[in-house]
Structure 1
Amino acid sequence: MESVMTRQQLADQAMDKAQKKLVPFILLMYVLAFLDRANIGFAKQAFQVDTGISDAAFALGAGIFFLGYAVFEVPSNIIMHHVGARMWLARIMITWGLVAAAFAWVTNETMFLALRVLLGICEAGFFPGIIYYLTFWFTSSRRSSVMGLFYFGAPLSFIFGSPLSGILMDMDGVLGFHGWQWMFVVEGLLATLVGIWALSYLVDKPSNATWIPNEERQALIAELEDENANKPQGHASPLKVLGNPMVLFLCAIYFMIQISVYGVTFYLPTQVAAMMGKKVGFAVGVVSAIPWVCALIANATIPRYSDRSGKRGILAAGLMFFAGLGVIASATGSPVIGVAALSLATAGYFSCQPVFWTMPSRFLSGVAAASAIALINSVGNLGGFIAPNLRVWAEQTFHNPSAGLYALGSAAFVAALLFIISIALGIGSNTPPTIARRASENQGAQSTL
Structure 2
Amino acid sequence: MASNQPPSRPASVRIDEEKKLEDGMSRARDSALSEGTFYQSQVSGKPIRKHFFSPPDGALAEAVNLDADNVDFTLEEEKAVRRKIDMRVLTLVVASYIFNQFDRTNIGNAHVIKKFNENFGITNNNKWTLALSIFYVGYCLLEMPANVLQRHIGANRFFFLSLLFWGLSSLSFVYAKGYAGLLVLRVLLGIGEAGYYAGMIYYLSFWYKRSELALRISLCMTGTLPGAIGGLLAFGLVRIQTPVLTGWQFLFLIEAIPTIIMAFMILLFLPSFPFSSSFLTPREKAIAQARLNRDHRPQSHGGMSGWQGFKAIVND
**Cα distance in 2, alignment partners of residues 24 and 175 from structure 1:** 39
For residues 21 and 184 of structure 1, do their structure 2 counterparts lie closer, same or farther at Cα, with a shift above 3 Å needed? Answer: same
**Is the Cα–Cα contact under 8 Å of residues 11 and 217 in structure 1 kept in the other structure?**
no
**Is the Cα–Cα contact under 8 Å of residues 8 and 223 in structure 1 kept in the other structure?**
no
**Is the Cα–Cα contact under 8 Å of residues 98 and 227 in structure 2 kept in the other structure?**
yes
In structure 1, what is the equivalent of residue 275 of structure 2? 207
User: Given the alignment, which residue of 100, 105, 110 partners 1:33?
Assistant: 100
1:52 corresponds to 2:108: no
For residues 205 and 145 of structure 1, do their structure 2 counterparts lie closer, same or farther at Cα, with a shift above 3 Å needed? Answer: same
**Is the Cα–Cα contact under 8 Å of residues 206 and 217 in structure 1 kept in the other structure?**
yes
List gaps (5 residues or longer) in structure 2: 1-71, 312-316
In structure 1, what is the equivalent of residue 11 of structure 2? none
For residues 227 and 72 of structure 1, do their structure 2 counterparts lie closer, same or farther at Cα, with a shift above 3 Å needed? Answer: same
**Is the Cα–Cα contact under 8 Å of residues 271 and 277 in structure 2 kept in the other structure?**
yes
For residues 14 and 108 of structure 1, do their structure 2 counterparts lie closer, same or farther at Cα, with a shift above 3 Å needed? Answer: same
**Cα distance in 1, alignment partners of residues 308 and 144 from structure 2:** 19
List gaps (5 residues or longer) in structure 1: 233-432, 444-449
Q: Which amino acid in 2 is paired with 1:218? A: A
Q: Secondary structure at the match of 1:105?
A: coil
**Cα distance in 1, alignment partners of residues 203 and 292 from structure 2:** 13
**Cα distance in 2, alignment partners of residues 155 and 186 from structure 1:** 18
**Cα distance in 1, alignment partners of residues 197 and 94 from structure 2:** 11
Q: Secondary structure at the match of 1:152?
A: helix
CA distances 1:327-373 after superposition (whole Å, capped 9, x unpaired): xxxxxxxxxxxxxxxxxxxxxxxxxxxxxxxxxxxxxxxxxxxxxxx
In structure 2, what is the equivalent of residue 109 of structure 1? 179
**Is the Cα–Cα contact under 8 Å of residues 136 and 206 in structure 1 kept in the other structure?**
yes
**Cα distance in 2, alignment partners of residues 153 and 442 from structure 1:** 34
CA distances 1:293-315 after superposition (whole Å, capped 9, x unpaired): xxxxxxxxxxxxxxxxxxxxxxx
**Is the Cα–Cα contact under 8 Å of residues 209 and 295 in structure 2 kept in the other structure?**
yes
Q: Which amino acid in 2 is paired with 1:225? A: N
In structure 2, what is the equivalent of residue 144 of structure 1? 214
For residues 44 and 192 of structure 1, do their structure 2 counterparts lie closer, same or farther at Cα, with a shift above 3 Å needed? Answer: same
For residues 21 and 119 of structure 1, do their structure 2 counterparts lie closer, same or farther at Cα, with a shift above 3 Å needed? Answer: same
User: Given the alignment, which residue of 104, 107, 120 partners 2:190?
Assistant: 120
**Cα distance in 1, alignment partners of residues 260 and 134 from structure 2:** 22
User: Given the alignment, which residue of 122, 135, 139 partners 1:69?
Assistant: 139
Per the normalisation by structure 1, the TM-score is: 0.49
**Is the Cα–Cα contact under 8 Å of residues 119 and 178 in structure 2 kept in the other structure?**
no
For residues 182 and 131 of structure 1, do their structure 2 counterparts lie closer, same or farther at Cα, with a shift above 3 Å needed? Answer: same
**Cα distance in 1, alignment partners of residues 84 and 273 from structure 2:** 13
Structural mapping, 1:259-298, within 5 Å: none
Q: Which amino acid in 2 is paired with 1:37? A: R
**Cα distance in 2, alignment partners of residues 437 and 9 from structure 1:** 39
For residues 157 and 24 of structure 1, do their structure 2 counterparts lie closer, same or farther at Cα, with a shift above 3 Å needed? Answer: farther
**Is the Cα–Cα contact under 8 Å of residues 12 and 220 in structure 1 kept in the other structure?**
no
Which has more radius of gyration?
2
Give RMSD over aligned pairs.
2.6
How far off is 1:231 after superposition?
Answer: 5.6
**Cα distance in 1, alignment partners of residues 131 and 305 from structure 2:** 40
**Percent identity for Structure 1 against Structure 2:** 26
User: Given the alignment, which residue of 167, 183, 192 partners 1:97?
Assistant: 167
In structure 1, what is the equivalent of residue 9 of structure 2? none
How far off is 1:16 after superposition?
Answer: 1.6
**Cα distance in 2, alignment partners of residues 122 and 215 from structure 1:** 37
In structure 2, what is the equivalent of residue 22 of structure 1? 89
CA distances 1:379-423 after superposition (whole Å, capped 9, x unpaired): xxxxxxxxxxxxxxxxxxxxxxxxxxxxxxxxxxxxxxxxxxxxx
**Cα distance in 2, alignment partners of residues 115 and 139 from structure 1:** 39
Q: Which amino acid in 1 is paired with 2:78? A: A
**Cα distance in 2, alignment partners of residues 155 and 95 from structure 1:** 23
**Is the Cα–Cα contact under 8 Å of residues 13 and 216 in structure 1 kept in the other structure?**
no
Per the normalisation by structure 2, the TM-score is: 0.68
In structure 1, what is the equivalent of residue 251 of structure 2? 183
CA distances 1:240-261 after superposition (whole Å, capped 9, x unpaired): xxxxxxxxxxxxxxxxxxxxxx
**Cα distance in 2, alignment partners of residues 153 and 222 from structure 1:** 30
For residues 123 and 442 of structure 1, do their structure 2 counterparts lie closer, same or farther at Cα, with a shift above 3 Å needed? Answer: closer
How far off is 1:58 after superposition?
Answer: 1.2
| Structure in which a larger fraction of residues adopt helix | 1
